[in-house]
Structure 1
Amino acid sequence: MALPDLDVRSVLNVVEENFQKVGLKAYAIRMIYIGEHTLPKDEIIKQFRKTIQAVNASYCEINVRGLLLVYDSYFVHIIEGSEDTVHRHLRFLFKSETDWIEEMRRLDDEAAQAAIAAAEEAAAEGLTVMMEDEPHQRSERQMFRRLKILTVYHSIQTLIFEGWQAVTANPPSLIGKLDIFGPLAEHMEQLRICLDKINRLCQIAKSEETLSFEGLSAVDAKMEALPEVALLDYLLQSQYILDLRHVAHLHRRVDDYCFYFENVWPLPTQFTPRLLYKLKVDDLFVEPLPVMPWELVNKETTDDEEREEQSGSSSTD
């Protein structure tokens, strides 16, 4: 009689089958972060698109996809992909910022040298030319003033976006004022409101092939999906929301843990009394202090002296 076939699949086989059902090769995440930029809309979109193309051009389990919403000075970025590709995008973005700053400094130095050369030529001809500020007095170049991460969804099963796109918009004005020094509950409530708007934005982007926010009226339903500038600025100032650069720095980093016994001196040994500072609330629940050998010697000596004194007093009587 033949034995029945046994199911010898491993956990890896089950995980691979689940990935095939949802059309993925690895676990996917969705990250939402916001920021304040200093470039024109077209230029900041160009910088983001360059990093996305660089990530997707290299080997990656899940291509980076998402939506970039750009205002005049603020932006919201919803990005999807595997954990490695998303954090690779962040590293490329910060590297692009560093390259841009170096390029701007080089152009500023060339412009300053050209201005000095023109002034020297004018002085040789007897003319007076007004010089601009010194190079060290120029404002510091930066692409992003502030960056904050709103949330990360881990192990998502369905991706919202088919590719990556960027749109520009003019957001509505916020009615009322927000207190940046308010309690934690107020900050979390404003974060929830912002995430609800972003979720509504994702649903609109999923339903429309060509997403556009140009020419919208104030009462248009799409306007409710745009986070207000005051709301984004409030979240960027919040002390309860993590900085994006800090989160990117922590990726794949394990800090060295310092144990307590490595911070004390002398090092704990069998000769170190570790119970000296224990509070004696009740002798029934507190271990007695260890008795040292020299204490036993002193105790025996004291007992002998007491016996001699008793014997001496009895003989005199």
Structure 2
Amino acid sequence: MAAASGRVSKKKPLPYFMQRSEDAVLPSFQNRRTLADHVKDNMLCAGRKSYFQRIVYVGRHPKVSAMTIRDRFLKVIKEMQEKTFNEVKLFGLMINFDEYSMHMIESAEETIGEYMRYLADSDLFECSRVVLVYNNINQRFFRKLVWRFADYLNGLPPAVIDAKDPNVVQNTINAFMVKVYTLCKMVRSEELDERSAFKSLYLDENYEEHTPDAVVLEYILGLNCLFNIQEYGQFYGVLPDVTTFRDKVWPIPDDMTPYDVFDSGKYQVNLTFGDV
């Protein structure tokens, strides 16, 4: 009848809240975002092509002048830069004492990984510990590699370490890191101060109360729960074998996507068989 009367029936458009995009109607296993999508988004937000990392490590070396030990570190850094194709340089704060070194370095993951490998192959340290590994930092403390020397470490009053405290390890590490970050902020302010054209290589007395003493450094160097430089150099960039019974599924996974990265939806294949 509608055709005979010359009128054509038209469907009324659905309200906006009832309209669904083409992606929305696809099952969740077809339109979910991959791990690579998240990595690209993070890189875009950070304005970088690679993740930046911050590492804090301490070490004890044969007792020589702080200037001498700096020259040895610079030799390792130069050798690394000559033999690698990574153009991102090292940044951070390198504090050297006559017998100890306390360094905070920042750079791209690949650069830090290469540096730690070269450092592991050197004979700079008698003993060392990696205290902090901070992945995907938002911003750097320093625009370049800054060196500072100090000769008053052994003259500081000994730290009070309560061995009976059940949290003595974590509390000592936390207190150490507070001092490291305080030193970084103070030296950064000094470096950014345009009123002072001369920047002393030596820490003055204002830094003394924020410098960890030998007792704290020796305590940290004795912690077996922390990687030393050699262990970290071997571990960095190596995917550990984490095979468990959960990997023995069918079909065999065809990628290296970690478990529990994506949320399960109604279209997700159930491999738990009754554990839901």
| Contact 1:55/1:85 (<8 A) preserved | no
Deviation at 1:14, TM superposition (A): 3.4
Higher relative CO (CA 8 A, sep ≥ 6), structure 1 or 2?
2
Which structure 2 residues correspond to residues 23-102 of structure 1 after superposition, within 5 A? 24-38=48-62, 39-57=64-82, 58-60=84-86, 62-97=88-123
Instruction: Give per-residue Cα distances to partners, 1:27-85, cap 9 Å, x unaligned.
Output: 10000000001143222111211222344454326321111111111110101111211
For the pair 1:174 / 2:201, whether they are aligned, the reply is no
Identify if the C-alpha distance between structure 1 residues 250 and 182 changes in structure 2 by more than 3 Å, giving closer, same or farther: farther
- Does structure 2 retain, via aligned residues, the 8 Å contact 1:25–1:62? no
Relative to structure 1, the CA distance from residue 182 to residue 53 in structure 2 (aligned partners, 3 Å threshold; closer, same or farther) is farther
1:159 aligns with 2:140: yes
Q: Does the aligned pair in 1 maintain the 2:149–2:203 contact within 8 Å?
A: no
- What is the DSSP-based 3-state SS (H/G/I as helix, E as strand, rest coil) of the residue aligned with 1:156? coil
Q: Does 1:19 align with 2:43?
A: no
Letter of the 1:208 counterpart: E
Per mean C-alpha deviation after superposition, the further-off stretch among 51-60 and 78-87 is 51-60
Unaligned runs of 5+ in 1: 1-5, 98-142, 261-317
CA distance in structure 2 between the aligned counterparts of 1:63 and 1:216, rounded to whole angstroms? 28
Structure 2 gap ranges (5+): 1-21, 23-35, 192-197, 246-276
Summarize deviations over 1:219-278 as a string: whole Å, max 9, x none: x3x222211111111111123333232122112224556879xxxxxxxxxxxxxxxxxx
Higher helix share: 1
Percent identity between the two aligned chains: 22
TM-score by length of 2: 0.64
Bigger radius of gyration among the two: 1
Structure 1: how far apart are the matches of 2:240 and 2:136? Answer: 25
Figure out how many residues of one structure are paired with residues of the other and give that number.
202
Contact 2:130 / 2:226 at 8 angstroms: preserved in 1?
yes
- Residue 207 (structure 1) aligned with residue 151 (structure 2): no
Task: Give 2:94's aligned amino acid.
Answer: L
How far did residue 166 of structure 1 move?
1.8
Alignment-derived partner of residue 216 in structure 2? 231
Q: Following superposition, which runs of at least 4 residues in structure 1 exceed 6 angstroms of deviation?
A: 257-260
RMSD, matched Cα: 3.0
